[in-house]
Amino acid sequence: MWAFIAPVPAPKSRYGPAISMQAATERFLVVDDDATITEAICRVLKSMGFESVAHTDPREAARETQFDLVITDFMMPHMSGVELLHQLKSSNPGAVRLLITAANDFKVATKAVNEGEVFKLLSKPWSLSELRAAITQAVEYFRLVRDNKRLTAELADRNTELTRLNATLEQQVTERTNGLLEGMIRALDYRDTETQWHSWRVARFTGRLAQAMGIHGDQLVQIEQGALLHDIGKIGVRDAILLKPGPLTPEEWVEMKKHPELGFRMLQNIPYLKNAAEIVYQHQEKWSGLGYPRGLKGEEIAVGARLFCIADTMDAICSDRPYRKGSTLEVAITEIGRLSGTQFDPRAVEVFLSIDPAEWVRIRREIEQLEHVDRRRVTGEMPAVTA
């Protein structure tokens, strides 16, 4: 037999005020083989503002699924309260379970509590205040678990959204940074032709060498940026010196040698280029201490600048100049090996020599392809790509 008792909004009854935490929406399953007990419990629940469904046969109660909390007697025909709660736990694991038990069954019932089958025990005969207190406590617990689950799910959703936003922002920052750097290198190219592709090549060579040194992440990106911008300070060198076809006078050299510092000053106040600016400042320093502008020596020189020197020398030896043809990669590699410990960091040279020379050839070809495409765009053979 079962009975459905609808909730009442007004809590005025001899059982006292309804639960006041928030509007009651929970539904109870009440089970006892004695109908007078289920009716009494359902009346109390109704007075507290809760819906309930009652059964006197535990086998019928075991088929219920639409409930939030369950109150059951322990000793019943066909099925004990503990067995019933065990079955209901698998069909409705989120429900909070209360067990009413006589004193002589207390040992078995306590075992069920310890095994997590039961939230709370109510001993027979129960008083009204005990029943109400147990119901209030169980409902509070049910709401706590439910709210906790909801908040955890909401937090997970927000976290996913934040991760997505973060990735989008990072992508935008990277695109804008790359666009800015490309613009700066083009600006230098307008002043000092043919430097643009040299800058891209040494950036990639330096990056590859840095990777082989075990450098990755932000540091790797900053080293590549520093290598790319290494000669940006030449924008500030007078045409008469920068574009002079013949050799420079000692006075002109003094001015030309200011370009690392000029480049550093251009970049030093751009927060995300701070480390790149330091490489620009140090790109003419030598391991031996005989470089410029500050004559830094050995590990006083930033690792990115030390790696750049190797990449720059390789590119300079292999590239054509107006007054000579570029040499082979083998010549460049031999020269770099020869200058290990004087011009270059010996550890960096060791790593450089361990890299397959085919990689340098591949990188050079990739940049040549970019150069080819860019030339066709500049001459109008290919339409410019618009973002």
Q: Where do we find the tokens 């083009």?
A: 186
| Cα Rg of the chain, angstroms | 40
Token pair of 365 as six digits: 């070809």
CB of 312 to Fe ion, least distance (A): 8
CB of 223 to Fe ion, least distance (A): 16
Q: Which one-letter DSSP state was computed for residue 298?
A: G
CB of 315 to Fe ion, least distance (A): 12
The whole-angstrom separation of Cα 283 and Cα 30 is: 82
Q: Which CB atom, from 24 or from 305, has the smaller least distance to Fe ion?
A: 305
Q: Which stretch binds Fe ion (CB under 5 A): 147-155, 228-236, 244-252, 370-378?
A: 228-236
Q: Cβ of 22: how many Cβ atoms within 10 Å?
A: 8
Query: Per CB under 5 A, does 231 bind Fe ion?
Result: yes
Q: Which stretch binds Fe ion (CB under 5 A): 43-51, 94-102, 180-188, 223-231?
A: 223-231
Asked if residue 255 lies in contact with residue 236, where contact means CB atoms within 8 angstroms, the answer is no
Q: Which CB atom, from 132 or from 230, has the smaller least distance to Fe ion?
A: 230
CB of 284 to Fe ion, least distance (A): 6
Q: Which stretch binds Fe ion (CB under 5 A): 45-53, 147-155, 231-239, 289-297?
A: 231-239
Q: Which CB atom, from 112 or from 229, has the smaller least distance to Fe ion?
A: 229
Of 48, 91, 46, 32, nearest in space to 67 by CA: 91
CB of 381 to Fe ion, least distance (A): 32
DSSP reduced 3-state for 17 = coil
- Considering only residues 55 through 74, tell me which ones interact with Fe ion, judged by CB under 5 A: none
Token pair of 239 as six digits: 């045409």
Asked if residue 112 lies in contact with residue 91, where contact means CB atoms within 8 angstroms, the answer is no
DSSP reduced 3-state for 4 = strand
CB of 151 to Fe ion, least distance (A): 57
Residue 6 dihedral angles phi and psi, to the nearest 5°: -75, 150
Q: Which CB atom, from 105 or from 231, has the smaller least distance to Fe ion?
A: 231
CB of 278 to Fe ion, least distance (A): 15
Q: Which stretch binds Fe ion (CB under 5 A): 89-97, 119-127, 163-171, 224-232?
A: 224-232
Of 268, 289, 286, 288, nearest in space to 277 by CA: 268
Query: Per CB under 5 A, does 345 bind Fe ion?
Result: no
Asked if residue 235 lies in contact with residue 264, where contact means CB atoms within 8 angstroms, the answer is no
Of 73, 26, 70, nearest in space to 48 by CA: 26
Q: Which CB atom, from 244 or from 376, has the smaller least distance to Fe ion?
A: 244
The residue count for binding Fe ion (CB under 5 A) is 1
CB of 375 to Fe ion, least distance (A): 24
Residues 6+ apart with CB under 8 A from 322: none
CB-based closest residue to Fe ion: 231
Query: Per CB under 5 A, does 312 bind Fe ion?
Result: no
- Considering only residues 150 through 179, tell me which ones interact with Fe ion, judged by CB under 5 A: none
Question: Where do contacts with Fe ion occur on this chain (CB under 5 A)?
Answer: 231
